[in-house]
Amino acid sequence: MIDLARLRQAFPDRHIIYFDSIDSTQRIAAASEPGTIVVADRQLAGQGRHGHTWHSERGSGIYCSFVLPPSPVLTLALGIAAVEAIAQTTGIACDLRWPNDLMLDNRKAAGILVQLVNGMAISGIGINVNQTEFPEDLGHLAISLRQHAGRAFAREDILLALFPAIDSLIAEDTETILRLFTHASSYVAGRRVTVDQPGGPITGTTAGLDPAGFLIVRQDDGTDTLILAGGVRAAGS
C-alpha cells in the first residue's frame, strides 16, 4: 500500500486521488479536473501504448496519471522527469528509448502513455519498482528497479520526486526538452536501430531529433526517415 498521507503532506495543494485497486488510473484521470493526480496500488486493466496492457501487480509498481495541458513534446518531457526522479531517489540511471520508454539492461523499467481527452493530456506513468518476477510473456522485455539493483525501494520516495520533476519539465520550452532528451537518451544519435514502419521494418543509425521531436533514422543508402511513432528497437534484438 502506498503511504498516501506522506504524499498529501508533501503536496497539500495538489488534488491527489488514490485507489487501492482500479481498472486504470487513465480512466479516472480522463474524468478529472486539470492538475489532478491519480495513483493506484494496483490496476486491473492497466493500459499500455499501441493497445497493449500494462502489468500492474498490487504493491510493487507505480501506477499514476496526471491531467496536464497538452504540449508538442510532452511525452519526451515526462520521460525525462521519470528518469530524473528515479535517479534522484534510487541512484539508478535509466536510458530513454525514444519516445518514452525507460530502459535498464535492455529491458523496459517504465513506460508513458499520453492520451488526448477533451483538450487535456491524460498522462500515465507506470514504473516497475519492486517486482521480483514478471509473467512469462514479459520476462525478457520487462525489468524492475529492484531486479536491476538487488534491493527494494519505497515507491513514495519516487513519487515525491516525480511530481516536482514533472512540474519543472513541463514548464520548459521545446528546445530545452529536445536538448535534455538528447543528452539523456543513448537512442537519439549514433545507435543502430530497427523500426517498424507501415511498409515494413527499416534498419539504420539514429541521427538526432527534428525540431518537433521526431526521431531521424539514416539508412545505409543515406536516406533519412522521420519516425513519427514508437516501435524503435536496438538492431538485432
Residue ranges binding ligand BTN (CB under 6 A) = 24-26, 43, 46-49, 52, 54, 63-65, 101, 111-113, 124-126
Burial 27-45 (b: 16+ CB within 10 A, else e): bbbbebeeebbbbbbbbee
Nearest to ligand BTN of 100, 204 (CB atom): 100
What is the DSSP-derived secondary structure letter of residue 124? Answer: E
Distance between CA 234 and CA 130 in Å, rounded? 26
Q: How far is the CB of 43 from ligand BTN (least distance, A)?
A: 6
Name the grid cell of 133. Answer: 518476477
Nearest to ligand BTN of 63, 187 (CB atom): 63
Name the grid cell of 112. Answer: 508513458
Q: Which residue is nearest to ligand BTN (CB)?
A: 111
Q: How far is the CB of 223 from ligand BTN (least distance, A)?
A: 28
Name the grid cell of 184. Answer: 539523456
Nearest to ligand BTN of 160, 204 (CB atom): 160
Nearest to ligand BTN of 84, 101 (CB atom): 101
Q: How far is the CB of 192 from ligand BTN (least distance, A)?
A: 22
Q: How far is the CB of 38 from ligand BTN (least distance, A)?
A: 8
Q: How far is the CB of 29 from ligand BTN (least distance, A)?
A: 8
Residue with cell 535498464: 104
Nearest to ligand BTN of 176, 196 (CB atom): 196
Residue 221 corresponds to which amino acid? D
Distance between CA 150 and CA 144 in Å, rounded? 10
* Parallel/antiparallel/unpaired status of strands 37-40 and 16-19: parallel
